[in-house]
C-alpha cells in the first residue's frame, strides 16, 4: 500500500513543472523610468556587479526607492539617488513600482512659475516630456541635462507643467532644477582650485597622465570613479588636476565637477545604429564592459533592441544605449548595422612619419610587428579608447588610437 506522500508526490511534481513552464525565462524590464522599492529586509547592499561575489559599494535601508536601468539574471542594475551611484541589487528584495518616490513635496513647496533646466541624476540618460502628469502618458519629446524650459505650473503630486522647444507638457520634479543653474553647462569650465571627482561610465579606472595627450604620455596613476580631485587648470581637452597628492593630466570627459557646469557623463558622440540580431529569437546578447568574452556582463538584450554606435569594428563594436545610458561592447557578428560600414577603416596620421603596429596593446621593446606609414589605411577590428586592434594587409596588431583618424 502506497503512503499518502507517495501518492501525492507525482501530482506535486506535475504542478511544479507546469509552473516552471509558464514562467518567462527573463522578465521584461523597462528603462530608467521603472522604479523599485527595497522590501523584505532591513537594509540592502548595492554591489559593483550582478552577484554576491562583487564588492559592496553602498547600502540603503528598507523603503528606499531606486531607478531600474536594466536586468541581469536575478539582479537589477539600478541608480540609487540617495547615494548618487549606479550599482546592482538583488531582485529578491526589490518590488517594482510605477512611482519614482514614496512621497512628493507638498504643493506649497513647489514653485508655480519661473525657469529651470533638465537635471537627471543619471546624466547620460534623458527625461521624458509627458503629455499629461502621468508616467503612462504619451511622450512628447526627450531631453538631456541642460535643456532649458519655462515653468508654467506645478501639481501637488510632483509634476511640473513646462514649455520647452514649443512643446507644453510635464516633467517629474526629481529630474529638473527650477530657478537654478544649468548642470549641463554648455561648455563652461570650473574655476581653478575647485573640487571634482573621477567619473567613468563603464566602471573602469581613469588614467592620470604625464602630458595632456594620449600619444606620447605615460600613465602616472589610475583612479576609480568617485575619487576626489582638485582641478588646477581647465584648459583644453585634458585638465591639470591633483589626485591624492599627484599632479598630472586627465581627459575632462572623465571628470565630474559639482556645480561647475560640467556634465559628469556627457552623451557620447555616435554615428549609425546597431540592432541586436542573435541567431535565435530566444537568445540574449551580452553587453560587456570591455571587448572580451571574459569581461564583465553589463546587461543582456534580446533581438530587435537598438543601440547607437560609438565606434564600430569587424570583431567588436562599442555602443551606447540611450534608454539606459549603458556604454559597452557587443560582438559585431551578432549585430545588424545601419548607416555605418561593417568593415570600418581608419587612416594613419603621424605628421608624415610612421606608426608602429604592435603585437600587444602596450609599448614594450620587441613587440613591433611592422611600421605603418603616414596616410596608410587600416581596417578596425576592435575599437578602444587608448589602443585599437587593426588589420594592415595580412598583419593584425594594435595601434595607439590617437594616431588613427
Most confident of the following: 84-88, 221-225, 373-377: 373-377
Cα separation of 267 and 98, whole Å?
26
Most confident of the following: 94-103, 202-211, 276-285: 276-285
88 & 117 share domain: no
Answer with the one of 204, 231, 256 that is the final residue of a domain.
256
Q: Residue 134: give its domain's CATH number.
A: 2.30.30.40
Beta strands in 246-405 (DSSP E): 246-251, 255-256, 273-276, 284-288, 297-302, 306-311, 316-320, 327-331, 335-338, 345-347, 354-358, 368-373, 377-382, 387-392, 395-400
122 & 148 share domain: yes
**241 in a domain, yes or no?**
yes
Residues 358/288, Cβ–Cβ less than 8 Å:
no
- The CA angle 81-65-38, to the nearest 5 degrees, is 130
Question: What's the confidence (pLDDT) of residue 260?
Answer: 37
361 & 385 share domain: yes
Give the chain's radius of gyration (CA, Å). 24
Query: Which of 76-80, 139-143, 145-149, 173-177 has the weakest average pLDDT?
Result: 145-149
Answer with the one of 316, 338, 360 that is the final residue of a domain.
338
156 & 191 share domain: no
**3 in a domain, yes or no?**
no
349 & 334 share domain: no
**280 in a domain, yes or no?**
yes
Segments forming the whole domain that contains residue 210: 187-256
Residues 6+ away with beta carbon under 8 Å from 4: none
Query: Which of 6-20, 109-123, 356-370 has the weakest average pLDDT?
Result: 6-20
Residue in 202, 205, 200, 236 with CA at minimum distance from that of residue 219: 205
**389 in a domain, yes or no?**
yes
Residues 123/86, Cβ–Cβ less than 8 Å:
no
200 & 228 share domain: yes
277 & 239 share domain: no
**121 in a domain, yes or no?**
yes
Cα separation of 247 and 315, whole Å?
37
Which grid coordinates belong to 32?
530608467
Cα separation of 26 and 37, whole Å?
20
What total number of domains does the chain contain? 5
83 & 130 share domain: no
pTM for the model stands at: 0.40
Answer with the one of 178, 211, 233 that is the final residue of a domain.
178
**265 in a domain, yes or no?**
no
Query: Which of 156-160, 189-193, 248-252, 335-339 has the weakest average pLDDT?
Result: 189-193
Helical segments of 27-161, H only: none
Amino acid at each position: 500500500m502506497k503512503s499518502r506522500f507517495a501518492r501525492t508526490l507525482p501530482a506535486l511534481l506535475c504542478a511544479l513543472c507546469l509552473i516552471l513552464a509558464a514562467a518567462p525565462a527573463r522578465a521584461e524590464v523597462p528603462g530608467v523610468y521603472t522604479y523599485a522599492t527595497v522590501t523584505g529586509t532591513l537594509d540592502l547592499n548595492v554591489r559593483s556587479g550582478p552577484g554576491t561575489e562583487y564588492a559592496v559599494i553602498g547600502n540603503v535601508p528598507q523603503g528606499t526607492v531606486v531607478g531600474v536601468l536594466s536586468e541581469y539574471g536575478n539582479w537589477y542594475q539600478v541608480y540609487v539617488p540617495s547615494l548618487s551611484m549606479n550599482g546592482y541589487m538583488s531582485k529578491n528584495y526589490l518590488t517594482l513600482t510605477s512611482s519614482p518616490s514614496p512621497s512628493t513635496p507638498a504643493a506649497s513647496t513647489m514653485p508655480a512659475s519661473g525657469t529651470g533646466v533638465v537635471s537627471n541624476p543619471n546624466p547620460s540618460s534623458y527625461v521624458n516630456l509627458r503629455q499629461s502628469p502621468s508616467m503612462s502618458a504619451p511622450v512628447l519629446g526627450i531631453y538631456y541635462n541642460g535643456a532649458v524650459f519655462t515653468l508654467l505650473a506645478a501639481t501637488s503630486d510632483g509634476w511640473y507643467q513646462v514649455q520647452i522647444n514649443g512643446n507644453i507638457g510635464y516633467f517629474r520634479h526629481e529630474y529638473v532644477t527650477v530657478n537654478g543653474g544649468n548642470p549641463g553647462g554648455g561648455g563652461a569650465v570650473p574655476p581653478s582650485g575647485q573640487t571634482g571627482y573621477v567619473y567613468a561610465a563603464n566602471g573602469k579606472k581613469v588614467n592620470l597622465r604625464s602630458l595632456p595627450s594620449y600619444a606620447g604620455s605615460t600613465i602616472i596613476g589610475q583612479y576609480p570613479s568617485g575619487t576626489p580631485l582638485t582641478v588646477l587648470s581647465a584648459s583644453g581637452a585634458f585638465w591639470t588636476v591633483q589626485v591624492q597628492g599627484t599632479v598630472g593630466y586627465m581627459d575632462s570627459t572623465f571628470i565630474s565637477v559639482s556645480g561647475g557646469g560640467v556634465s559628469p557623463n556627457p552623451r557620447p558622440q555616435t554615428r549609425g545604429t546597431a540592432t541586436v540580431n542573435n541567431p535565435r529569437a530566444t537568445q540574449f546578447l551580452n553587453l560587456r564592459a570591455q571587448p572580451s568574452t571574459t569581461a564583465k556582463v553589463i546587461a543582456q538584450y534580446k533581438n530587435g533592441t537598438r543601440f547607437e554606435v560609438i565606434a564600430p569594428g569587424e570583431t567588436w563594436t562599442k555602443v551606447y544605449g540611450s534608454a539606459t545610458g549603458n556604454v559597452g561592447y557587443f560582438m559585431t557578428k551578432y549585430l545588424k548595422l545601419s548607416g555605418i560600414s561593417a568593415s570600418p577603416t581608419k587612416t594613419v596620421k603621424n605628421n608624415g612619419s610612421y606608426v608602429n603596429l604592435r603585437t600587444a596593446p602596450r609599448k614594450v621593446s620587441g613587440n613591433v610587428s611592422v611600421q605603418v606609414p603616414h596616410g596608410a589605411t587600416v581596417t578596425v577590428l576592435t575599437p578602444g579608447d587608448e589602443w585599437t586592434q587593426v588589420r594592415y594587409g595580412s598583419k593584425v596588431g594594435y595601434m595607439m588610437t590617437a594616431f588613427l583618424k
